[in-house]
Amino acid sequence: MSTDGGDGVRCLVTGASGYIGGRLVPELLAAGHEVRCLARTPAKLRDFPWSEQVETVRGDVTDPDSTARAMADVDVAYYLVHALGTGKGFERTDREAAENFGEQARKAGVRRIVYLGGLTPSGVSERELSPHLRSRTEVGRILLASGVPTAVLRAAVIIGSGSASFEMLRHLTERLPLMVTPSWVRTRIQPIAVRDVLRLLVGAAELPPEVNRTFDIGGPDILTYRDMMQRYARVAGLPRRLILPVPVLTPRLSSHWVGLVTPVPASIARPLSESLRHEVVCTEHDIDGYVPGPPGGPVGFERAVELALRRVQDADVTTRWSSASVPGTPSDPLPTDPDWTGGSLYTDVREMVVDASPEQLWRVVEGIGGENGWYSFPLAWAVRGWLDRLVGGVGLRRGRRDKSRLRVGDSLDFWRVEEIEPGKLLRLRAEMRVPGLAWLELRMEQDEQGRTVYRQRAVFYPHGLAGHAYWWSVAPFHGVVFGGMVRNIAAAATA
């Protein structure tokens, strides 16, 4: 790492492929800092848009040699790794990793460690904490005793697309209008928006050298989990949820319940559920005296949810199905987030090699709809149009402006042309009445053998339980409708 970075701080980030780390790195770069990432598998960082702007060192926080190499010439070391799991020995692994990290930082002359831990309840002994929170507390204590000035930022639920806690909240609220829930829905929590977490993490790099302590960090709202679900529903435009807490649902049982209802993996749902039995509210806000607040103050819960849902509500979910997309804010999804984050997204993907040139195939695709039809099961399309008109939609009556040419913004039966790359891509956004958002993407490519490949993708983002029910009710017909569409478009291109 260069040592002539001017006013910039030389930072080491561990956990850069994770939820917080992947969003912290571009914030540090934007602040003018140099960044080095320590990664067990550097290849995992290649898909991040900032990958070419950082230095990457292969290694592991449990390995003294690789950690020592990563610490060379570093001013501030961010510790963002944690064994979020229930397997035997994870607390010991966390302990040994923190001890090694602190020791190597001290030997390398690192001037500060910054650690993001979990907010713990006041008045509760460490023995009573969930294993997840207990381990995070122990890691913070080890780093504070390392001999390197350390800032331990302790947060509760982080609100942002991709956060495991937020995704659990999202899926529970969207999928269940009526919930029989664990008693922890009455627990008071002080959530914080991910952009405020990142702001404080970046600001912690400039703390005075004498600061060696924990800081509680939270947003302006103190809510129960039930309150958060109701407010999420309001922001998402869902009906008010009926929530019935049941005391007999233990943390173990509730983690299985969460796993059944949501796609959040059980290995993550269980420690999160166990931690929710404790009230986690900030007891101090001392970090405000060191890191200036943003204009207008910290982000409130409902605004944080709005930001997390922004891409979907703006009818732009390309961050979920295009690896080339880049998030506009820390609240947006990253292409590298796990598949179970960012809300449910259903797809029907089909492709076929076509014995025609891309130009011939494009002429057929650009002429789709209106009098030309949709190249599959005309009766099914007609019935769908009639049903749409029956519930107040536009149906198929709009047709198309031009018989052979399309422009962005054109209406096309009950679709709207959202994007065109002539000869390559046509993307349509549905304007029919459906409980969610829908797109149809038609793409032409050439493979390594020079053959023309037609790729077709239907994408549906469900809105509430009705959206999920809608998708599964029509899914049995996709083979006839979308499968026939692929075959008939290919046949028309070769005619």
Q: What is the CATH number of the domain that holds 414?
A: 3.30.530.20
Q: Is residue 331 part of a domain?
A: no
At residue 319 the predicted structure's pLDDT band, cuts being 50, 70 and 90, is very low
Mean pLDDT of 261-283: 75
pLDDT at residue 456 is higher than 80: yes
Q: Check if the beta carbon of residue 351 is closer than 8 Å to that of residue 456.
A: yes
Residues 373 and 249 in one domain: no
346-398 residue pLDDT tens: 889 999 999 999 999 999 999 988 888 888 877 777 777 777 677 667 666 67
pLDDT at residue 37 is higher than 60: yes
Q: Check if the beta carbon of residue 254 is closer than 8 Å to that of residue 179.
A: no
Give the C-alpha separation, 217 to 197, whole Å: 8
Answer positive or negative: Cα dihedral of 304, 309, 314, 318. positive
**What share of the chain has pLDDT > 90, as a percent?**
47
Residues 218 and 270 in one domain: yes
Per mean pLDDT, which of 237-246, 296-305, 309-318 is the most reliable? 296-305
Q: Quick one: pLDDT at residue 342? A: 66
CATH number of the CATH domain containing 279:
3.40.50.720
Per mean pLDDT, which of 76-85, 284-293, 329-338, 459-468 is the most reliable? 284-293
Q: Quick one: pLDDT at residue 212? A: 97
**Averaged pLDDT of the chain:** 84
Boundary residue ending a domain (321, 355, 386): 321
Least confident of 228-237, 311-320, 449-458: 311-320
Mean pLDDT of 172-194: 83
Residues 312 and 401 in one domain: no
Mean pLDDT of 84-108: 84
Q: Quick one: pLDDT at residue 318? A: 41
68-95 residue pLDDT tens: 999 999 999 999 998 655 455 788 889 9
pLDDT at residue 3 is higher than 50: no
Q: Check if the beta carbon of residue 220 is closer than 8 Å to that of residue 297.
A: yes
Residue recorded with tokens 């994770």: 18
Q: Is residue 417 part of a domain?
A: yes
Contact residues for 194 (Cβ-Cβ < 8 A; gap 6+): 20, 23, 158, 159, 160, 163, 304, 330, 331
Q: Is residue 480 part of a domain?
A: yes
Residues 289 and 389 in one domain: no
The residue among 196 and 323 whose pLDDT is bigger is 196
Residue recorded with tokens 């806690």: 165
The residue among 196 and 127 whose pLDDT is bigger is 196
Residues 368 and 480 in one domain: yes
3-state SS of the chain is CCCCCCCCCEEEEECCCCHHHHHHHHHHHHCCCEEEEEECCHHHHCCCCCHHHCEEEECCCCCHHHHHHHHCCCCEEEECCCCCCCCCCHHHHHHHHHHHHHHHHHHHCCCEEEEEEECCCCCCCHHHCCHHHHHHHHHHHHHHCCCCCEEEEEECCEECCCCHHHHHHHHHHHHCCEEEEEHHHHCEECCEEHHHHHHHHHHHCCCCCCCCEEEECCCCCCEEHHHHHHHHHHHHCCCCCEEEEECCCCHHHHHHHHHHHCCCCHHHHHHHHHHCCCCECCCCCHHHHCCCCCCCCCCCHHHHHHHHHHHHHCCCCHHHHCCCCCCCCCCCCCCCCCCCCCCCCEEEEEEEEECCCHHHHHHHHHCCCHHHCCCCCHHHHHHHHHHHHHCCCCCCCCCECCCCCCCCCCEECCEEEEEEECCCEEEEEECCCCCEEEEEEEEEEECCCCCEEEEEEEEEEECHHHHHHHHHHHHHHHHHHHHHHHHHHHHHHHC
At residue 338 the predicted structure's pLDDT band, cuts being 50, 70 and 90, is low
Q: Is residue 338 part of a domain?
A: no
Residues 351 and 303 in one domain: no
Residues 236 and 101 in one domain: yes
Residues 217 and 140 in one domain: yes
CA angle, 209 then 56 then 333, to 5°: 90
pLDDT at residue 131 is higher than 90: no
Q: Is residue 4 part of a domain?
A: no
Mean pLDDT of 232-254: 78
Q: Is residue 214 part of a domain?
A: yes
Q: Check if the beta carbon of residue 425 is closer than 8 Å to that of residue 408.
A: no
From residue 445, alpha-carbon distances to 122, 264, 357, 439 in Å are 59, 35, 10, 19
Residues 307 and 427 in one domain: no
At residue 267 the predicted structure's pLDDT band, cuts being 50, 70 and 90, is low
CA angle, 435 then 441 then 445, to 5°: 165
Contact residues for 470 (Cβ-Cβ < 8 A; gap 6+): 434, 435, 436, 462
pLDDT at residue 343 is higher than 70: no
Boundary residue ending a domain (279, 304, 321): 321
Which domain does 420 fall in, by range? 346-494
39-62 residue pLDDT tens: 999 988 988 889 899 999 999 999
Least confident of 43-47, 178-182, 423-427, 455-459: 178-182
Q: How many domains does the chain have?
A: 2
At 475, the amino acid letter reads A
Q: Quick one: pLDDT at residue 383? A: 74
pLDDT at residue 158 is higher than 90: yes
At residue 328 the predicted structure's pLDDT band, cuts being 50, 70 and 90, is low
**What share of the chain has pLDDT > 70, as a percent?**
85
Q: Is residue 269 part of a domain?
A: yes
Residues 351 and 267 in one domain: no
Q: Is residue 2 part of a domain?
A: no
Q: Check if the beta carbon of residue 215 is closer than 8 Å to that of residue 152.
A: yes
Boundary residue ending a domain (306, 321, 336): 321
pLDDT at residue 22 is higher than 80: yes
Q: Quick one: pLDDT at residue 327? A: 46
Question: What's the whole-model pTM score?
Answer: 0.75
Residues 223 and 92 in one domain: yes
Residues 376 and 314 in one domain: no
